[in-house]
Every structure is written in C-alpha cells, then in structure tokens.
Amino acid sequence: MAVATAGVGARVPDVLVGLIARRDPEAATPEHQRLTGDVGVGPWLAAGAGAGARAPLADERTPSGRSWLARLPYFIVIVSALEVCVFLWGGARTQMALLYNPHRRLELWRFFSYMLLHADPLHLALNVAIQLVLATPLEYEQGHLRTGLVYLGGGIAGSLGTSMMEPELYIVGASAGVYALLISQLSNILLNFGTIRYKVYRTVAVVVLALTDIAFSLHHHYTFGNECPRVGLAAHCSGAVAGFLLGLVLFRGEAAKPENAAWMRACRWAAAALLSAGLTAAVVCNMLLPPAPPRTT
C-alpha cells in the first residue's frame, strides 16, 4: 500500500492506521516483520521522508525484504540458454569433451559438464521447460546460489550414481539436476511449512510430475527394454535423493520460530551426514572400480 507523508515528522491519522490494520491485520506487527522481513508501514510512516514519499508496495518486495528484481531467476535462465547454445552450435568435438564417459572418470569435469548436452530437441525442450518452471519459485524464495548448488549437486550425484549402479553407461542431459530441483521443492515446503504459500498445490504438482515420469520410465523399460533412448534411471534417482538432502542442508527455513529450531537442526545434520556418506561411497567406488569394459554393438 502506497502511503504519502505530508512532510518531515508528519503524523498519520489514527483512522488511516486503522484502515491499514483492517486490510492486513498482521502487516504492522513486529512478529510478522520478524518472520517475513516485511518492512510494514510503521517505519515509513514514522520517518516521514518528505512530501510525496511512500513505503514500498508489498508486492514489490520478497519475503526476505529484498527487491523482486534481485530475485528474478537469472541462474536457471542463463544455464538454459547455455544448454540451448551448446545443442545448436556445439559440434562433435564439444560433445565428446563434455559427455560423461565411464572410461575417462579421471577427467572430473565430465561429472557435471554432461548436463549441458542433450540427445535430441525433445530431450532439450522438456528439460529446459521443466527446469525453468521448477527453479523460478526456488530462486525467488531461496536465492540464486542455493538453487544453483542444488541443481549442480543433483547433476553430480546423477553421474556418481550412474558410475556405481550403471558403470558402463554414457550419459548426457540435465535430467538429474531437474530431478534435484523437483524433489528439493519438498525440502523447501518442509522447512517453511508455516509460511510458504500454496504448499498444498505445490506438493501435489511435485507428486504428479514425479509419478508421471516414473510411469513413463516403467513403460519405456518394459515395452522397449529401455532402449532408443536409454533412460538413465540411476542418474534420475540419485539426482532426486541429492536434491531432497541438499535442500534440507542449504535452504533457509523458519529459523525465526524457536519451536522449529531443534527439529530443523536435526534434519540438517541428518541430511548432511547422509550426503557425506553417499559422496564418500561414490568416490571410493570410483577409485577402486576397474575401468568400464568397452561397449560392443
């Protein structure tokens, strides 16, 4: 709500304050400001910043108090554009240098660079469309860095999981990162259950998307023997698990509520322990496993 002040130190009539409180009873309470970062109207009305000054509109600021412009999904837009460019203009040498190759596990960049490659236009379009939809609310609520770490961590988990469970498989595509974004939505909802908006609809959307992809994968496996194309089930599952755990570790939660602090801390430590155990197992397996045998046709 825009509020203009008449001058320095101007006093707002009690009637106006009453109308504001009636419109949004919690907007001016200290508890609301502490939990949501909403500056409310009190500080702006008290400051009296001069004729024509106004408080920022509620929809101009994020729950953390930062400008909505700073919360636009820059990370996922840039990554998606890069994936499109690599698909359109990256030649055979680029693809061979970036894909995950089980015979070149010492080339560590391959454990995440494969995410830039896609098998065909449909594969690219699906991944880009879904990751844009999933990452946009996460970047708005959790920021670019946390969302990017979940996406990249899911991709690395996908290649590490493939190296252990399907050690002969070459992989391309951002599906593991997309799965990490998808399941990390549940972490975000869990950590912010009391304040997050549309939690029921978002949970249903996550479940529907996950079940749809699982149903397609099962149909493809039993109908076509998981060939043409080969679906990297290990990468999908590893990315999903990593996304949930990374979300618990990295995402902001309702830390302002003391009653949530204990269980939130326990969840974060448990998730960190599971991530550490999985990463250690994957590294040890990659060090001890012999090179994958050449594929024969």
Q: Give me the catalytic one of 80, 118, 144, 236.
A: 236
Query: Are 115 and 208 spatial neighbours (Cβ–Cβ below 8 Å)?
Result: no
For this structure, is 118 an active site residue?
A: no
Could you give the angle at which helices 258-288 and 175-191 cross, rounded to 10 degrees? 160
**In this structure, what is the dihedral angle of CA atoms 91, 96, 100, 101, given to the nearest 10 degrees?**
160
Q: Give me the catalytic one of 175, 184, 187, 238.
A: 175
The tokens for 237 are 């599952």
16, 41, 51, 197 from 11: Cα distances, Å: 11, 13, 12, 34
CA distance 90 to 86: 5
Beta-carbon contacts of 31 under 8 Å, excluding residues fewer than 6 positions away, are: none
The tokens for 253 are 């939660």
For this structure, is 163 an active site residue?
A: no
CA distance 271 to 279: 12
Please, where are the H alpha helices in 143-232?
A: 144-165, 175-191, 199-224
CA distance 112 to 93: 17
Query: Are 191 and 257 spatial neighbours (Cβ–Cβ below 8 Å)?
Result: no
CA distance 126 to 173: 11
The DSSP-derived string for 241-264 is HHHHHHHHHHS---TT-HHHHHHH
Query: Are 246 and 275 spatial neighbours (Cβ–Cβ below 8 Å)?
Result: yes
Catalytic positions are 175, 236
